[in-house]
Structure 1
């Protein structure tokens, strides 16, 4: 979604954030970093921006009572209003991140705050504030020519520019709605992970066609794999067929219609009502409304397609990939062997 070929790095400040529960502290730099080396500039831009090129989910800052009380929104607004305050505000951002670092497993690391110009998002060139944190360090080998051959050196605690641990891009667009924000968190995927997106940034996903499509496919998948067993007796092959039908619908249609989808894919009045109830419960639990009709996002369909399982796993001996007509596969039980079996019909091998 992000295109960076016209982007430039205007300002950069680097600080360090420790974990106060581990008696670590923060370290603030006195001045922003002056980047005079052209190659270093390119490497930093690659490190900061390339991870966002395949990010489709757009978020917004939120607050339960007043958006201006969202700290990072407030800091971002201050920088966009007056970029001359950039370094001072970057120090405030560092202190704030330190204050909400309240889980013992959160790693310390460098915090980069960048002011970027001409970053393209959704076809629009925008200024953006980048906040990036590096937590994981690696050891690198360096090989160089020497008399009669080569020598080796190593460098510890290096940063891999192809592995951004945490980051966000805050775009100077749609301020009244909470700005447009992209976020990445490649580490701490368990309970402590919420501190970056939920505790530090306080974000809510934007409710556009991409997220409507993604949420609907995700809800339907969970309904088929986790909920439908409570009301119907279905084999795993039946469930895979229901998933295949839903993916076929989203790939062939340009617009989603709830009643049309339910009729074509589920086709059973009791199952349709059960799915609609399940969807309503999701909307209440996550405070996210999913429209009855919306434009289908091909990018969201492609992404969800990767997690739609159409494989029937039989013990550790066989995997059956079901892509089409479930009437060509039958399940039975062999009394002599006391084992289940599947009978598969086909016309030719390939």
Structure 2
């Protein structure tokens, strides 16, 4: 869906947003920063890797009109190449105004324009906002013509991911663009996503696929054992059936899913009720039909582990027929599993 391997930097502007609550002043650059090839490769590598496994897309929003969203408005102007410096300054000023607690570090705000971003098989431009609050210290050896070299302690941006980032993809202007967001410190999500960016999740295949798989996992692991008597093998059987459904289907339909995974009508109804309850609590619309995101499904299915852990001695991975493994208790009260197979590999 998103390929950043050929993304190139076309503009880089660096501001220092400061912290309004501590009277740390806002510092604004008045021009672009020129990058040599080596530095561009370094920044591109460390900045863009925070989106490598991020499949949750957002969109800009505003309670009145999305055009009144400050970051959206500035990004739209920058995509049209209208007063890029001024609009980047407005973004930094907006971030300064939202920095209202002393715990949030100042750092440097990189506002970078990209071309060559591949999104849904379409080449797009994008704007990245990268806030680097934590610097790395390195010992540098100073070069001298004669005598003894000296050592200096310097701080800068290393190979680690930025502390906060977002990538605005120039697609669907009228729907608030397609936005990825990243924060190292989840406690500051409200500051970055809500107060500064003003974004909300896009109700599309990526999010829908992840939400349903995670809801199903929670139901099987936590909710269902409270309703019916079941063991780990029963849970693994449900996991295998659901994994097979998401691997083999392009569309999710609630009735078809429950019919394939649950043989018991009561369990099927219980899951439907549980899913709707979760969606009502979180404000998510009932997701009963949507296109399955293959990329997200593969990632989330890996989290549905069909493994039985036996004390600290054995891990038994179950990948297929539930009837080829049996659980029992011997005469001395010890638990055991019996496995049936045709050949040892």
Relative to the length of structure 1, the TM-score reads: 0.85
When residues 263 and 103 of structure 1 are mapped into structure 2, their CA distance, relative to the original with a 3 A threshold, is farther
When residues 229 and 35 of structure 1 are mapped into structure 2, their CA distance, relative to the original with a 3 A threshold, is same
Tell whether the 8 Å contact from 2:32 to 2:85 is kept in structure 1 after alignment: no
Equivalent position of 1:101 in the other structure: 99
Give the superposition deviation at 1:243: 0.9
Give the superposition deviation at 1:275: 0.9
Distance 2:241 2:169 in 1: 38
Note if 1:345 corresponds to 2:340: yes
Give the superposition deviation at 1:10: 3.4
When residues 15 and 126 of structure 1 are mapped into structure 2, their CA distance, relative to the original with a 3 A threshold, is same
Equivalent position of 2:17 in the other structure: 17
When residues 247 and 6 of structure 1 are mapped into structure 2, their CA distance, relative to the original with a 3 A threshold, is closer
Distance 2:152 2:223 in 1: 54
Tell whether the 8 Å contact from 1:105 to 1:192 is kept in structure 2 after alignment: no
Give the superposition deviation at 1:108: 3.0
1:139-158 alignment runs, 5 A limit: 139-140=137-138, 153=151, 155-158=153-156
1:84-123 alignment runs, 5 A limit: 84=83, 86-103=84-101, 105-123=103-121
Equivalent position of 2:315 in the other structure: 319
Which has the larger displacement, 305-314 or 156-165? 156-165
Note if 1:181 corresponds to 2:176: no
Number of aligned residue pairs: give it: 343
Give the superposition deviation at 1:50: 4.5
Equivalent position of 1:289 in the other structure: 285
Tell whether the 8 Å contact from 2:205 to 2:292 is kept in structure 1 after alignment: yes
Equivalent position of 1:251 in the other structure: 247
Distance 2:25 2:273 in 1: 48
Q: What RMSD in Å do the two structures reach over aligned CA positions? A: 3.0
Tell whether the 8 Å contact from 1:11 to 1:32 is kept in structure 2 after alignment: no
1:82-113 superposed Cα distances (whole Å, 9 cap, x missing partner): 521x2223222223223333455433321111
1:233-244 alignment runs, 5 A limit: 233-244=229-240
1:204-237 superposed Cα distances (whole Å, 9 cap, x missing partner): 2222223222222111111111211221111122
Distance 1:104 1:334 in 2: 62
